[in-house]
Chains A and B, each alone.
Chain A
Amino acid sequence: DGGITQSPKYLFRKEGQNVTLSCEQNLNHDAMYWYRQDPGQGLRLIYYSQIVNDFQKGDIAEGYSVSREKKESFPLTVTSAQKNPTAFYLCASSGTGDQHPEAFFGQGTRLTVV
């Protein structure tokens, strides 16, 4: 089945540790995105990538890093510099042409800092 897979679904991290969230897609989409959602809030864009080896900061990139070494994969690292990392993290991908511009999401990763 085609889709986007995020892992793990739940993640607990000690303060001061870096952690990497996985996002893999087999939809052959060029564009991939990372969002953060806090309780009762909307989605805020962390990073996005249009093509391999290229990515752009979103609205709240501080304390996060990404890589795009393969088209299928766009991992997000939450670093110890992120002051309030507990949140629901969502990865999405979309086509870049006009025919299928809509985005599809993974099931998300709930990160809790303990």
Chain B
Amino acid sequence: RKEVEQDPGPFNVPEGATVAFNCTYSNSASQSFFWYRQDCRKEPKLLMSVYSSGNEDGRFTAQLNRASQYISLLIRDSKLSDSATYLCVVKALTGGGNKLTFGTGTQLKVEL
């Protein structure tokens, strides 16, 4: 089983739609959780951290369920500029230090 699993998509949605991405992780000792956005041929950039209480940043809402080892990202009122790959990231403390593991990413295409 992969440490971090995501549906690869692509998700093709019309502008204005609400879209949800899910991610599961296998290491129950994971400590921190993030969503990153990656545009084509660019480096990933932090979209938002994910907290146990859930958190919102404008049109974006992230949630964490530690019991189910599940993370989600909700994008409301999708814009064309939201088209990108969204990466779920988990940070866990190992014997060698903090290890950051990425999911394979979910591709989103927002269309007119």
Contacts and interface: CB of A to CB of B under 8 A. Distances in A.
Interface of A: 31, 33, 35, 41-45, 48-51, 54-56, 58, 88, 90, 92, 94, 96, 101-108
Contacts, number: 68
Given A101-B31, A101-B91, A105-B45, A45 B99 contact: yes
18 contacts: A33-B100, A42-B103, A43-B44, A43-B102, A45-B102, A50-B96, A56-B97, A58-B99, A94-B100, A96-B97, A101-B49, A102-B34, A103-B34, A103-B46, A103-B100, A104-B46, A107-B42, A107-B43
B53 interface: no
B61 interface: no
Contacts of B89: 103
Interface of B, secondary structure class, is strand
Interface residues of B, number: 25
A27 B31 CA distance: 22
B100 A45 contact: yes
A41 to B, nearest CB: 7
A42 B102 contact: yes
B48 to A, nearest CB: 9
Nearest to B34: A102
Given A48-B98, A55-B96, A101-B49, 9 more contacts: A45-B100, A50-B96, A50-B97, A54-B96, A56-B94, A96-B97, A102-B49, A103-B46, A105-B43
Nearest to B49: A102
Contacts of B102: 35, 42-45
A45 B100 CA distance: 8
A41 B104 contact: yes
B31 to A, nearest CB: 7
A103 B98 CA distance: 11
A43 B97 contact: no
Nearest to B89: A103
A31 B87 contact: no
B87 A43 contact: yes
Query: Which of A50, A88, A94, A103 has the most B CB atoms < 10 Å from its CB?
Result: A103
